[in-house]
Amino acid sequence: MRDYELEVLEQYDIEVKGTRKIRGAFFCDTKEGTMLLKEADVSDRRVPLLYIVLKNLEAAGYPNVDTPVYNKEGDLVSVSRDGSRYMLKKWFSGRECDVKREYEVLQAARNLAQLHQKMQWSQIVGDMDPIDEDAVIRPPTGRHLKDEFLRHNRELKKVRAFIRNKVSKGAFEFLFLEYFDQMYSLAEQVIKRLENSRYDSLYQESIEELRLVHGDYNYHNVLFTPGGIATTNFEHFRVDVQVQDLYYFLRKVMEKHQWNENLGQSMLSAYQEIRPLDTRELEYMALSLAYPEKFWKTANTYYHSNKAWIPEKNVEKLQTAITQTEEKLRFLENIFTFNL
């Protein structure tokens, strides 16, 4: 551990017995248990809200979350002498959810449903002292799905314009141009269906009731520990349609399993054992899955990278996004009875 990180740990009233470096962070063995020190990727404005959400999850009977720890000065973020911002968080001895093990994936889906039942800002604020409640800032609100899709479409057209004007084209550029029309047409069809869906009422209801989402629920952030499942990295939490978390988790798993229908159906059933979904939420998931998200994301990464050298992995990701589109649409038709 560098001197900077050691100095940061000295800002806490905690006895550290040992540290171990992992990717971008440090495990800290303390008398209070395992903790994690990592650079804070959340704003000073959001940190108190994050703390409130996680402490209330603990109080509501969900103790295995990575709640940040106050330092000696009563702050949740500590600053090193080089200006870097750090958070020390409660952590857990365990391993990430193994996406190849169906049992663990289904347990993670049930875990998400349990979290959603407890993640409602109005309930959290309602449990607080009125004086404290007045001082709390409301969490940020997620973007409307149509606005998000329209932004993605504009970015796709921007990438196409850039590639068309590029003199020297490689495998990535030719592949993108070959399939752009097909993917963009799919994206536009999804937006038209969205406009005629019941998403608006679901979105407005979620905002009015201040329902919270994790914001980055994937198998890396679900840990299997001796004390049960732990959920970590809530830094992207916000007020939004809660089933967005399930869509994201399902998509990430399905991409690893070539859109296996049996597993996908089992994931939905596992979630609904705890928290049943209404028709609007199922429609939202189908629309979100139908949008060519992976194609857009890979193209957007390319556009904001060093285009003088395109890694082979990027070409593979683009090819996978294209080849899995037919599998995904078949999955939607058979699981959600959804077709464009």
Q: Which CATH architecture has domain 145-336?
A: Alpha-Beta Complex (3.90)
Q: What percent of the chain is modeled with pLDDT above 70?
A: 94
For 202-213, give the secondary structure using H, E and C.
HHHHHHHCCEEE
**Residues linked to residue 238 through DSSP beta bridges, in sequence order:** 213
Q: pLDDT band at 131, cuts 50/70/90?
A: very low
Contact 293, 149 (CB under 8 A): no
Q: Is the pLDDT assigned to residue 121 strictly greater than 90?
A: no
286-294 average pLDDT score: 97
Contact 190, 162 (CB under 8 A): no
Calpha distance 336→283 (Å, rounded): 8
Calpha distance 53→76 (Å, rounded): 14
pLDDT of residue 24: 78
Distances (CA, A) of 38 to 45, 58, 68, 75, 224: 18, 22, 11, 15, 21
Contact 76, 70 (CB under 8 A): yes
Contact 139, 281 (CB under 8 A): no
pLDDT of residue 311: 79
What 3-state DSSP class applies to 144? coil
Classify domain 1-91 at the CATH class level: alpha beta
Q: pLDDT band at 126, cuts 50/70/90?
A: low
What's the pLDDT tens digit per position in 57-74?
999 999 999 999 999 999
What's the pLDDT tens digit per position in 4-24?
667 899 999 999 888 888 877
Q: Is the pLDDT assigned to residue 298 strictly greater than 70?
A: yes
- The token pair at 241 is 């349609």
Mean pLDDT of the chain: 92
Pairing between strand 78-79 and 95-96? unpaired
Calpha distance 48→93 (Å, rounded): 25
Contact 146, 195 (CB under 8 A): yes
Which carries the bigger pLDDT value, residue 270 or residue 3?
A: 270
Task: Determine the straight-line distance between the first and last CA of the chain, rounded to whole angstroms.
Answer: 54
Q: Taking the CA atoms of the chain, what radius of gyration do you get in angstroms?
A: 22
Strand arrangement of the beta sheet that strand 33-39 belongs to: 16-22, 25-30, 33-39, 85-90, 78-79
Which carries the bigger pLDDT value, residue 180 or residue 3?
A: 180
What's the pLDDT tens digit per position in 182-233?
999 999 999 999 999 999 999 999 999 999 999 999 999 999 999 999 999 9
- The token pair at 138 is 């409301």
- The token pair at 114 is 């349990």
Q: Is the pLDDT assigned to residue 120 strictly greater than 90?
A: no
Kindly tell me the burial class for residue 187, based on how many C-beta atoms sit within 10 Å of its own C-beta (0-12, 13-18, 19 or more). Answer: buried
Tracing tokens 């899955």 back to the chain, one arrives at: 289
Residue 28, φ and ψ in degrees, nearest 5: -125, 125
Calpha distance 95→267 (Å, rounded): 20
pLDDT of residue 73: 95
Q: Which of 173, 181, 46, 62 lies closest to 117, judged by CA?
A: 62
Q: Is the pLDDT assigned to residue 36 strictly greater than 60?
A: yes
* Stretch among 6-20, 138-152, 236-250, 326-340 having the lowest mean pLDDT: 6-20
Calpha distance 84→40 (Å, rounded): 8
**For the chain, what are the domain ranges?**
1-91, 145-336
pLDDT of residue 128: 57
* Stretch among 161-175, 232-246, 301-315 having the lowest mean pLDDT: 301-315
